[in-house]
Chains A and B, each alone.
Chain A
C-alpha cells in the first residue's frame, strides 16, 4: 500500500499553500469582518488553475486527480475556508457535474470559462422548505415545448451573486415525484432572476450567500442536463463528489486550527513554562493530531476510490461527516488552548471555529451522512 504522494501532488499542494499563505492571509480577517467577496483571490486561483482542477484539459481543466484536489482544498481552507467553499462548489459541483453529465454542446459552451475562473458557478438545490429532504422540490420547471419555465425560490446559495452559471434543480413532472426532477444550466442574468439580500452568516462570511428567486425564467431546452427526469439522480451523484471537497475543507479548517494551537502553546507561558509542557495541553494537541490524521485518510481514500472509478459514495459520506465533526471539536479546543486570546478575532481560531460549524450542515448535514452510511450498512 503506497501512502506516498507523487511529485505532482506535492507541487500542487505547495502551490496552494504558497498562494494562501502569501496572499489570502493578508486580508482574510478584514474580509471576514466586512463579509467581502474575495474577488482578487478568486481571479488569481482561477489563473493558477485551482477552479477546474479535475476537468479535462481539452476544456481548459487541469486534468488532475481527486487526491490533488483534496490536498489543495486542505491547504487553502487552513487559511481561508471561504475561498475553500467557493473553490469546492465550482470544482466539485458545477465543473464536475457538467463534465460528467453534460453533453458536448453544454461542455464546450460552459466549461472553459468555468475552468479558468473567468466565470464561476453556483449549485441551486436547497429551498426554504427543502434542505435535507431534497426530493420534495417546490421550484418548478414547466416543460413548454422548446423551453422550460422556472418558478420558485432557492436558499443558501453559495456564489449566488458572483456566479454567472447556475445549475438549477427543479420539478418538471410532480406526479413522478423525484423521478420528475430535472437539472438545468441557467444564465444568472436571465430575466426573472432576483437575489435576496446577502446572508449575514456566522462564518465563511467572505463567500457570498443569497436566496435566489425565479419568476417565469425561460431556459432553453438544450440546457437541460441529461434525460428528462434525470435531475434528482444528477443532484445526488454530484453531491457525492462534492462531499469530498467539503470534507477536505473541514480537514483544512481543523488543520489550520491545530497548527495555530501548536505554535501558540510553544510561545505562551504559564506557571513557569511554555504551556505545551503541561500535559493537559499536550494531550489536547495529540487528540487533534489523531482526529486530523483519521479525517485525512478518509478524504484520501474517498478520493482514491473516485479516481479509480470505483463506488465511493459511502466513503465520501464518512469523510464528510467525520471531518466536519472533528473540525468542530478541533477548532473548539484550539480556541480553548489560546485562552482569552482565542476569543478575539486577531488570533484567527475563533473564525475557524465559526467556519467549522457550517461544514456539519451544508452539502448534507452530518445526520444525512449517517443516514447514507447506516442504510448502506443495513441493506440486504
Chain B
C-alpha cells in the first residue's frame, strides 16, 4: 500500500505578513511545510514504520517552482521515500488540485491537510478526490490500518464517527492525526538529497478563482476600561452598548 502526502509550501506562521504590489512580500520569509500537511506526513511515517501493516512506501508531492524544493527536501529528510514537484506556481485550489491529480491517481491513500496556513485553502483535498473519482473522507482526526481495512475517525460537531473506506481514498486530515510534527533526524537530513525528487511538467488548466487584491485588517479600537469597583458598569455596557446580553 502506498501513501502520498500532498505538501503546501507556506510562509512560517509566525511571520509578519506584508503585502506589496498586491502580492505577499516574500523578503525575509521562512518557508515551511504547511503545518497540517506536516502532521499528515508524520502519521504516514508512523504507519510505514509499523511492520504490522501493509504500508510500504510514503511519497510526497508539492505544486511549486524550484524555490519550493528546500521544503520538499525537508519531507524527504523526515523520511519520505521520493518526492514529486509539479513545476508551476500554485494559484488557486482548483488549479492546484488539478496538478496534484497527475500524481495522486497512482496511490492508494492520499493525505492532505484540511487547511493551509497561507490562503486558508480548505478545498484541495475534496477537489482532488472529486477529480480522480476516489473515495473521500474529510476532517479525519485518526488513521489506522488493520490488515487491509482503512479505519478513520471523522470529526463531527460534538463528537466523532468511525468510518471505514474503500481504496483509493483521499483523506483530508486535521489536528489529532498525529501528536507532534516529526523532527528530521540528522541521518535523514544528510540523505535527503540522495532521494529522488522528480519534476513533472504542469498541465494546463484554468483558475476558477483569483485574488484581486489584499487588505490589511483595520487596527482595533482601544479597549474600554471599566473600574474594578464598578462591575455593574460592565454589565450595563454589555447590555446596552455592545448589546450582546
- Direct contact between A and B judged by beta carbons closer than 8 A: yes
Chain A residues packing against B (C-beta within 8 Å): 7-8, 10-12, 15, 18-19, 22, 47-50, 53, 57, 62-64
| A15 and B186 alpha carbons, distance in the complex (Å) | 8
Contacts of A18 in B (CB 8 A): 183
Interface centre among A15, A47, A64 (most CB of B within 10 A): A15
Contact with A along B182-201 (1 / 0, CB 8 A): 01111101101100000000
Q: Are B183 and A50 in contact (CB under 8 A)?
A: no
Contact partners of A49 in chain B: CB under 8 A: 185-187
Cβ-neighbour of A47 out of B185, B189, B190, B192 (below 8 A): B185
Selecting from B70-78, B165-173, B223-231, the interface stretch reads B70-78
Q: Which residues of B contact A15 (CB under 8 A)?
A: 183-186, 189
**B106 at interface, CB cutoff 8 A:** no
In the complex, the answer to whether A53 meets B183 with C-beta atoms within 8 Å is no
The smallest C-beta distance from B9 to any residue of chain A, in angstroms, reads: 14
**Distance to closest chain B CB from A8 (angstroms):** 6
Q: How far is the CA of A233 from the CA of B105 in the complex (A)?
A: 62
Complex CA gap A287/B180 in Å reads 37
Q: Is the CB of B186 within 8 A of A22?
A: no
CA distance A12 to B184 in the complex (A): 8
A11 near B77: Cβ-Cβ < 8 Å: yes
A selection of 28 A-B contacts at a CB cut-off of 8 Å is: A7-B70, A7-B73, A8-B189, A8-B193, A10-B70, A11-B77, A11-B192, A12-B186, A12-B189, A15-B183, A15-B184, A15-B189, A18-B183, A19-B183, A22-B183, A47-B185, A48-B183, A48-B186, A49-B185, A49-B186, A49-B187, A50-B186, A53-B186, A57-B187, A62-B187, A62-B190, A64-B186, A64-B190
> CA–CA, A11 to B32, complex, Å?
11
**Which residues does chain A contribute within 8 Å of B70, judged by CB atoms?**
7, 10
Do the beta carbons of A11 and B74 come within 8 Å of each other?
Answer: yes
* B70 and chain A: residue at smallest CB distance: A7
Additional 11 contacts, C-beta under 8 A, given A8-B190, A19-B183: A7-B70, A7-B73, A8-B189, A22-B180, A22-B183, A47-B185, A48-B183, A48-B185, A48-B186, A57-B190, A64-B186
A273–chain B nearest beta-carbon distance, Å = 16
Kindly state the separation between the CA atoms of A63 and B183 in the bound complex, as whole angstroms.
Answer: 18
Determine which residue in B73, B77, B190, B192 has the highest number of CB atoms from chain A within 10 A of its CB, and name it.
B190
| Chain A residue contacts of B183, Cβ below 8 A | 15, 18-19, 22, 48
Q: Mark B79-123, 1 if CB is under 8 A from A, else 0.
A: 000000000000000000000000000000000000000000000
Which residues from A are CB-within-8-Å of B189? 8, 11-12, 15
Residue of B nearest to A12 (CB): B189
Cβ B192 vs Cβ A8 within 8 A: yes
- Residues of A close to B77: CB separation below 8 A: 11
Q: List the A side residues contacting B73 at CB < 8 Å.
A: 7, 11
Query: How far is it, in angstroms, between the C-alpha of A14 and the C-alpha of B77 when the chains are bound?
Result: 12
The distance from the CB of A144 to the nearest CB of chain B, in whole angstroms, is 41
State the CA gap A50–B185 with chains docked (Å).
Answer: 8
Greatest chain A CB density within 10 A among B180, B189, B192 is at: B189
Give A87 Cβ to nearest chain B Cβ, in Å. 12
Please report the C-alpha to C-alpha distance between residue A19 and residue B183 in the assembled complex, in whole angstroms.
7
CA distance A19 to B187 in the complex (A): 16
The chain B residue with its CB closest to the CB of A49 is B186
Of B180, B184, B190, the residue contacting A63 (CB under 8 A) is B190
From residue A172, how far is it (CB to closest CB) to chain B in Å?
A: 37
Chain A residues with Cβ below 8 Å from B187 are 49, 57, 62
Complex interface: chain B residues within 8 A of A11 (CB) = 73-74, 77, 184, 189, 192
Q: In the complex, what's the smallest C-beta–C-beta distance from A263 to chain B, in angstroms?
A: 12
Q: How far is the CB of A130 from chain B (nearest CB, A)?
A: 36
Closest CB in chain A relative to B223 CB, distance in Å: 15
Residue of B nearest to A8 (CB): B189
Least CB distance from B31 to A in Å reads 11
